[in-house]
Amino acid sequence: DQQVKQNSPSLSVQEGRISILNCDYTNSMFDYFLWYKKYPAEGPTFLISISSIKDKNEDGRFTVFLNKSAKHLSLHIVPSQPGDSAVYFCAASTKYSGAGSYQLTFGKGTKLSVIP
Amino acid sequence: DSGVTQTPKHLITATGQRVTLRCSPRSGDLSVYWYQQSLDQGLQFLIHYYNGEERAKGNILERFSAQQFPDLHSELNLSSLELGDSALYFCASSARAGVNTEAFFGQGTRLTVV
């Protein structure tokens, strides 16, 4: 049972245009959502996050939108640059019982290619 | 550089063997999480330690175990290895267990079981 789904394995975008990466989740207990970027042979790098009390968070070229009723979030990258080419993972967390453990549940990732 | 150090970067071993993966968290971080990434899969949570204590377990096999030492580094022990254990193993750290915040990942250890 995949609780976090990224239905597009890959996405190609022209440099300068907008990249939109999508993510759906099924667990209504998730209350914190994150996007990670991963280059080959490196670990995931935190990009941006959003709490469930918000519907938008912006950081430079990156904006994450959260639609709780649809259990959907998206990452917008504007303008897209060749250096943005990487695998993007959507992740979600919720407090694990009373233990204060916030392990992340990841999607399978979307490979973004930004074409010069 | 995330500040999380994992060693070794690559490991090749035979079926039935035992290996130990090591993780040093970012300075000051008390939480260490272990994740496994198999081929074409997302990262799967294995186990979480906070200040030396186990806090949560995910899909971790009984053949796998972990611990966090007083200096906060952590080790993941994998025994009776099978071909299917070949994967990338990531360690992540975060500041506190009681706060929902981003985790910082190491570069991972690529384990190949032959």
Please tell me the least confidently modeled range out of A1-10, B8-17, B34-43, B68-77.
B34-43
Q: Test A102 with B105 for CB contact under 8 angstroms.
A: no
**Chain B contacts of A43, Cβ < 8 Å?**
2, 4, 6, 90, 92, 105-108
**Among A residues 40-59, those touching chain B with beta carbons less than 8 Å apart:** 41-46, 49, 51
**Chain B contacts of A31, Cβ < 8 Å?**
100
The answer to whether A93 contacts chain B (CB < 8 Å) is yes
**Chain A contacts of B55, Cβ < 8 Å?**
96, 99-101
For B56, the closest of A4, A44, A99 (CB atoms) is A99
| Residue B59: alpha-carbon gap to chain centroid | 12
Q: Summarize the confidence of residues B16-45 as an average pLDDT.
A: 91
The residue of A23, A42, A64, A102 whose CB has the most chain B CBs within 10 angstroms, and thus the best one to mutate to test that interface, is A102
Please tell me the least confidently modeled range out of A73-82, A86-95, B18-27, B104-113.
A86-95
The answer to whether A116 contacts chain B (CB < 8 Å) is no
Q: DSSP characters for B6-58?
A: EE-SEEEE-TT--EEEEEEPPTT--EEEEEEE-TT--EEEEEEEETTEEEEE-
Shortest distance, CA A82 to any CA of chain B (angstroms): 21
The answer to whether A106 contacts chain B (CB < 8 Å) is yes
Shortest distance, CA B47 to any CA of chain A (angstroms): 8
CB atoms inside a 10 Å sphere around CB B17: 13
Q: Which residue has the tokens 């985790």?
A: B103
Phi then psi for A27, rounded to 5 degrees?
-85, 110
pLDDT, tens only, A35-90 = 999 998 889 999 999 999 999 999 999 999 999 999 999 999 999 999 999 999 99
Q: Summarize the confidence of residues A106-115 as an average pLDDT.
A: 96
Please give the DSSP secondary-structure letter assigned to residue A40.
Answer: T
A7, two tokens: 């239905």
Report d(CA B12, CA A77) in Å as an integer.
38
Q: Summarize the confidence of residues A103-107 as an average pLDDT.
A: 87
Find, among B11, B32, B28, the residue nearest to B105 by Cα: B32
